[in-house]
Amino acid sequence: MAEATPCVRCGARLENPQRCRACGTFQPPDPRRDHFATLALPRAYAVDAALLERRVVDFGRDLHPDRSGGEAAARTRAVLAAAQVNEAYAILRDDYRRGEYLLSLEGGRSAADDKSVPDGFLERMLDERMELEEALSGAPADVERVRAKFDAQLAAVGADVASRFAGLATAADRERALAGLRAALNVMAYYRGLVRDLREAVREKE
């Protein structure tokens, strides 16, 4: 769990890092607070989805402008704090965006700077694109077959990304581990796009 800090006014332990539940004081903005800290979650790829949802609901209630009092400055602070919670939630609830964000925090390269994939994967991409086109021109059963295949591939690469992040802290060669994560996330982005393209093509045919 993310380490709790004391309220700047009353010293109570902060459950919500942006507003004290004991005295209602909004805490000063902290540029070092990342999305994980914003939602009081540990900085890790593995996220408890149910806890994430509870954090958003509870913190959103704490930060609602109608509960900030009558002062304009307090309402503005509440709006900005709630926006930070919503932004953190949008990123952390999505496996790929969470991975990209965590990789950047760990010092890895962005997808724009490094488009590498594992050896031999480019040929596989061409084969799967061809398989997708053939399925779309075939029977509904063909579409379902490739849909199941690509969903399984996406799940597998998601598990690979999770495993790589879990082992990053103890990696003997950190730079190599970061490079491996970058390539794995690129593969995840490819399969997400492939599944999205399949769904859109099916909708257009309906």
- Smallest Cα–Cα separation from 165: which of 45, 49, 53? 45
pTM of the model: 0.94
In the block, residue with structure tokens 């061809």 = 130
Sequence length of the chain is: 206
Q: Which one-letter amino acid corresponds to residue 181?
A: L
Q: What is the pLDDT of residue 66?
A: 87
Q: Which one-letter amino acid corresponds to residue 47?
A: V
Sign, CA torsion 97/117/193/140: negative
pLDDT, tens digit, 9 for 90 and up, residues 147-160: 999 999 999 999 99
d(Cα 205, Cα 17) in Å, to the nearest integer? 49
Q: What is the pLDDT of residue 206?
A: 76
Q: What is the pLDDT of residue 2?
A: 54
The greatest distance separating any two alpha carbons of the chain, rounded to the nearest whole angstrom, comes to 67
Strand partners, 19: 26
Query: Where does residue 146 rank: exposed (0-12), middle (13-18), buried (19+ CB within 10 A)?
Result: buried
Q: What is the pLDDT of residue 193?
A: 96
| Residue-by-residue DSSP string for 58-86 | HHHHHT-GGGS-S-HHHHHHHHHHHHHHH
d(Cα 149, Cα 130) in Å, to the nearest integer? 14
Q: What is the pLDDT of residue 3?
A: 66
Strands of the chain, DSSP E? none
Under a CB-based contact definition with an 8 Å cutoff, are residues 164 and 181 in contact?
Answer: yes
In the block, residue with structure tokens 């990342």 = 34
Residues of the chain with pLDDT under 50: none
